[in-house]
Amino acid sequence: MAVQKSKKSPSRRGMRRSHDALTSRALSVESATGEVHLRHNITQDGYYKGNKVVEVKSKSETEEDSE
């Protein structure tokens, strides 16, 4: 079993934990659709920076393709 050689001070403990803080996710609003999405990611509709970059299939199209 591991046993420490000497006690770590509260200051050392705090310095170790200084990088453990969580930050909130960076969100953006798409100018074309008004949809909220993660930064540097396309929206569910296939838009990025106001431009349509991916043609998204609807649910009915995907059901037809699978049959």
* The pLDDT value given to residue 67: 66
Distance CA 45, CA 29 (A): 13
Average pLDDT, the chain: 90
pLDDT at 10: 98
Q: If you average pLDDT over residues 2-22, what whole number do you get?
A: 95
Question: For residue 57, is pLDDT > 90?
Answer: no
Beta strands per DSSP E along the chain:
27-29, 36-38, 47-48, 51-52
| Euclidean distance between CA atoms 42 and 48, whole angstroms | 5
Contact 27, 43 (CB under 8 A): no
